[in-house]
Amino acid sequence: MCSKIEENIEDQHPIYRDLIGDTFPTAGNILWNFTKILVGRDGYPIKRFGTLVSPKSKKIVNEVEKALDQVYIPQM
């Protein structure tokens, strides 16, 4: 749990800078509550899902399964 944090303004919390930064496929402002961002084993964002996509949707489940199938080789 954490306190309320800012996602789109000058006081943007660092976690959002890392999740929706320009260099990631999940770039762009958070438009509404319940935006979901899938993060890979390496800690980098993989895919973003809008508020209308249910966390249990086949779309998200497929992406999670695909991410889990990927072999993770840590950067040294």
Q: What is the pLDDT of residues 5-25, one digit of tens each?
A: 777 777 777 887 778 878 778
> Of 64, 45, 46, whose CA–CA distance to 56 is shortest?
64
Strand partners, 37: 48
Q: Considering the entire predicted model, what is its pTM?
A: 0.74
CB 53 within 8 A of CB 45: no
Residue 76, pLDDT score: 65
Q: What is the phi-psi region of residue 34: left when phi exceeds 0, alpha when psi lies from -120 to 50, beta otherwise?
A: left
Q: Name the more confident of 3 and 34.
A: 34
**C-alpha separations of 12 from 6, 15, 29, 76 in Å:** 5, 8, 11, 30
pLDDT tens-place string over residues 41-74: 888 889 999 889 999 999 999 999 999 988 777 6
